[in-house]
Amino acid sequence: MHAPADLLLLPQWIVPVETAGTLTDHAVVVNDGAILDVLPADAAQARYQASHTLPLPGQALIPGLVNLHCHAAMSLLRGYADDLPLMTWLNDHIWPAEKQHVSAAFVRDGTLLAAAEMLAGGITTCNDMYFYPQAAGEAFLQAGMRAVLGMVVLEFPSAYAADADDYLARGLATRDELKDEPLLGFSFAPHAPYTLGDAAFARINTLAEQLGLAIHTHIHETADEITHSLKQYGVRPLERLAQLGLLGPNFIGVHAVHLNDAEIRLLAQHGCHVAHCPGSNLKLASGIAPVARLVDAGVNLGLGTDGAASNNRLDLFAEMRLAALLAKGASGNAAALPAPTALKMATLDAARALNLDDRIGSISIGKRADLVAIDLSGPECQPVFDPVSHLVYVAGREHVTHVWVDGTLKLDHGRLVDLEPDDLAARAAWWRGKLAKNFEQGVA
């Protein structure tokens, strides 16, 4: 007698990630949103009676990609202030624009736009950091996408909150309201050491320990950040956070471009994680993170896109390739960051940083069915000697055909299932009209 299942997937290759290499002519069986079985295709068809069977010839099935750092709503600021260094970009353009225009509606629409882009590109989980996390959470739920909502904290006022205490109170209220949503998680998201004082960091650390939540913050993104910290606090930013007790397995340091050997050892000793955002780092001329040395030291790295305002695309296929190439070029070692490592950074290692590696990040029995099919059958992908190599060095997000989140189809033959592109374009056009006057004047 056949066992029942919701979905039987029959790709040419399965890339489990948790174990090395690929499986050929195997099947993935999905039931109740979870991976029920992974076994040879013939055996799967003999054992299971699925409600739906989907052959995927010429395609590779991988775990859903995990974007370890993003400001999703900033998709509405894509291309708004290009070709500028970080602090000029922030102080003269982005922060003034946010002060004037950001609202719950802005965040909801911008996050929907970002979710559509990410889902279409195989990203099933986003670690977000932005204002109005409740609006972002509602948008991610509408899209059916998994997300960790950062409870952003700053010292200075915005349209969202007045001061650090107000940011925390609002963030915690959002967590209380949405914490039972199975697709949503939460973290504390202090913006950066240069925008928060010691007292705010100390309170965040206490709350994070009490609630068992991650701390997700920008760190050592630019050389100027370090210079200013030395002048104001007498120590480099990472050392300051270490003295405040923030470093540990729940700490996700974003960018981590300017690190010395002692700081790399510090991150490794404390079991910290790094969100590597190579595209944004290059576009803002922030520098090239010492990825090969971080990997050698045993620091867990995941990949992030950053926001579309500084990248300008939410594309983890591009980030995988860029990360692998930069690691080789910067280290002088062609074997640095091989394709399997880059793919793991975009899946299981990023999930580990979010403490979700028991649920997502690999194709393993019992995990949630966050899955992506990539078509490698086209002439631009031929011949295929190693599918994993192709996923990093050849394929792009345009090759993604199907996406499932929690076993639910979100992209079907390249078409979004739950989001309407024309509606998203109309929303983006409306916000462009609101922002256009400031853009044309050259000052946000």
pLDDT reading at 68 higher than 60: yes
Q: Out of 33-37, 94-98, 115-119, 302-306, which region has the weakest mean confidence (pLDDT)? A: 94-98
pLDDT band for position 99 (50/70/90)?
confident
DSSP character string of 291-344: HHHHHHHT-EEEE----TTSSS---HHHHHHHHHHHHHHHHT-TTSS-HHHHHH
Residue 440 pLDDT > 70: no
Q: Please, what is the end-to-end C-alpha distance for the chain in angstroms?
A: 66
What whole-number percentage of the chain has pLDDT above 70? 98
Q: Which residue has the tokens 């374009």?
A: 425
* Nearest 10 degrees: Cα torsion 266, 70, 92, 199: -50
pLDDT of residue 89: 83
C-alpha count within 13 angstroms, C-beta hemisphere, residue 13:
21
For residue 87, the model assigns a pLDDT of 84
How many whole angstroms separate alpha carbon 125 and alpha carbon 115? 9
Q: Please report which helix (H) or strand (E) contains residue 166, including its range.
A: helix 164-178
Q: What is the pLDDT of residues 28-58, one digit of tens each?
A: 999 999 999 999 999 999 999 999 999 999 9
| pLDDT bracket for residue 90 (50, 70, 90) | confident
d(CA 144, CA 370): 11
Given a cut of 90, is residue 95 above it in pLDDT?
A: no
Q: Which residue segments constitute the domains of the chain, with CATH numbers given? A: 3-63+368-413 (2.30.40.10), 65-353 (3.20.20.140)
Report whether the peptide linkage leading into residue 383 is cis, meaning its omega lies within 30 degrees of zero: yes
DSSP string, 88-103: HHIIIIIHHHHHHH--
Q: In this predicted structure, what is the pLDDT of residue 443?
A: 46
Q: How many other C-beta atoms are found inside a 10 Å radius of the C-beta of residue 67? A: 30
DSSP at 75: G
pLDDT tens digits along 383-408? 999 999 999 999 999 999 999 999 99
Distance between CA atoms of 272 and 251, rounded to whole angstroms? 5
pTM of the complete model: 0.97
Per DSSP, which regions of 313-442 are E strands? 371-375, 400-405, 408-412, 415-416
Q: Report, as an integer, the average pLDDT of 354-374.
A: 98
